């Protein structure tokens, strides 16, 4: 006579004891936005969008070299980044000076032991000696003012990319973000030099993305729309001009630097690992034909003859 088997509870009636971790993916979507251990260079980091980008990358875990024209201008951003407990080093330099863009890249790589992320944000408008922008149609803009913009916004960009290439090629997760502008994809009267240089950055990003892809280097252009910064104070502090600009923005408001920085973090991080050669417009819809507001009355242009 056989010994009865020990009584067992049918599997179907066993109370569920599975913990949530059993069905949790091994990596989360949010984790893909982290930059822990990444070495990043941010140019134009003293204020506005550049400062916001630096803080976003630091919060995501990156160590940083920050560049702007002077050490004094970078002091506040350096202090804020340090509050995240990240390594942060200031490398000042006027990118309009011949050779300085390449020197900034080399010094950044030396300070951090390499580079994984470069966000090139530095850029200029034609300006008066006091820093106020020169808004003139092309036919009235002096050639030296045109050349000063092209020197910083295009020539320095090319030099920076050229020098960054070997460091990015040696990285396991390289990303180059060129801060272009919506001005590079829409008609921007009175700002032709700036718009042309920003359009050139978009083209450069696309060409580099194709040329460097097999080395794993991702290159993208980020195009902010009208963003409330010191550079745009001439517009957002001018009621009629601000109203006219925003009348062409479907979302009807200025962007904040932090909104642009969030997009920069996306492009810099593994969250965008399959994204290269793209132009990311963070513009409230202004690049939609006619600002997305065809048929809606707009205030007269402040530039129209009286």
- Residues designated catalytic: 194
| Burial profile 112-122: b = 16 or more Cβ within 10 angstroms, e = fewer | bebbbbbbbbb
From CA 241, how far away is CA 19, in angstroms rounded?
A: 58
Closest CA to 193 of 163, 228, 166, 153: 153
Half-sphere exposure of 159 (CA within 13 A, CB side): 20
Q: Tell me the CA distances in angstroms from 243 to 181, 233, 240, 254, 297, one per residue in order.
A: 20, 13, 5, 10, 12
Q: Where are the alpha helices (DSSP H) in the chain?
A: 48-59, 71-82, 100-112, 143-150, 156-169, 192-212, 233-236, 239-246, 257-268
Closest CA to 99 of 167, 147, 160: 160
Listed in sequence order, the residues at least 6 apart from 137 whose beta carbon sits closer than 8 Å to its beta carbon are: 189, 190, 192
Residue 126's φ and ψ, nearest 5 degrees, are -60, 135
From CA 114, how far away is CA 41, in angstroms rounded?
A: 10
From CA 226, how far away is CA 284, in angstroms rounded?
A: 8
């Amino acid at each position: 006579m056989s010994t009865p088997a020990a009584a067992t509870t049918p599997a179907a009636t066993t109370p569920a004891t599975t913990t949530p971790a059993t069905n949790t993916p091994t990596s989360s979507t949010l984790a893909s936005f982290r930059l822990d251990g990444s070495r990043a260079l941010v140019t134009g980091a003293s204020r506005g969008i550049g400062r916001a980008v630096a803080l976003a990358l630091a919060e995501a875990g990156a160590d940083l070299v920050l560049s702007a024209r002077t050490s004094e201008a970078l002091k506040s951003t350096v202090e804020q980044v340090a509050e995240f407990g990240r390594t942060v080093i200031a490398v000042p330099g006027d990118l309009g000076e011949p050779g300085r863009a390449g020197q900034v890249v080399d010094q950044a790589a030396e300070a951090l032991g390499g580079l994984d992320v470069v966000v090139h944000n530095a850029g200029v408008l034609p300006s008066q000696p006091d820093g106020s922008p020169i808004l003139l149609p092309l036919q009235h803009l002096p050639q030296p003012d045109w050349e000063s913009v092209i020197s910083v916004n295009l020539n320095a960009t090319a030099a920076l990319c050229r020098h960054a290439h070997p460091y990015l090629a040696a990285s396991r997760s390289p990303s180059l973000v060129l801060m272009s502008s919506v001005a590079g994809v829409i008609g921007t009267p009175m700002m032709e030099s700036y718009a042309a240089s920003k359009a050139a950055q978009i083209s450069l990003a696309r060409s580099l993305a194709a040329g460097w892809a097999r080395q794993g280097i991702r290159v993208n252009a980020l195009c902010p729309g009208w963003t409330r910064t010191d550079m745009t104070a001439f517009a957002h502090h001018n009621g009629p001009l601000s109203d006219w600009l925003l009348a062409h923005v479907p979302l009807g408001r200025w962007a904040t630097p932090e909104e642009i920085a969030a997009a920069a973090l996306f492009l810099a991080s593994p969250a965008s690992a399959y994204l290269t050669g793209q132009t990311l417009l963070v513009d409230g819809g202004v690049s939609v034909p006619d600002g997305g507001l065809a048929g809606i009355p707009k205030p007269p242009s402040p530039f129209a003859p009286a």
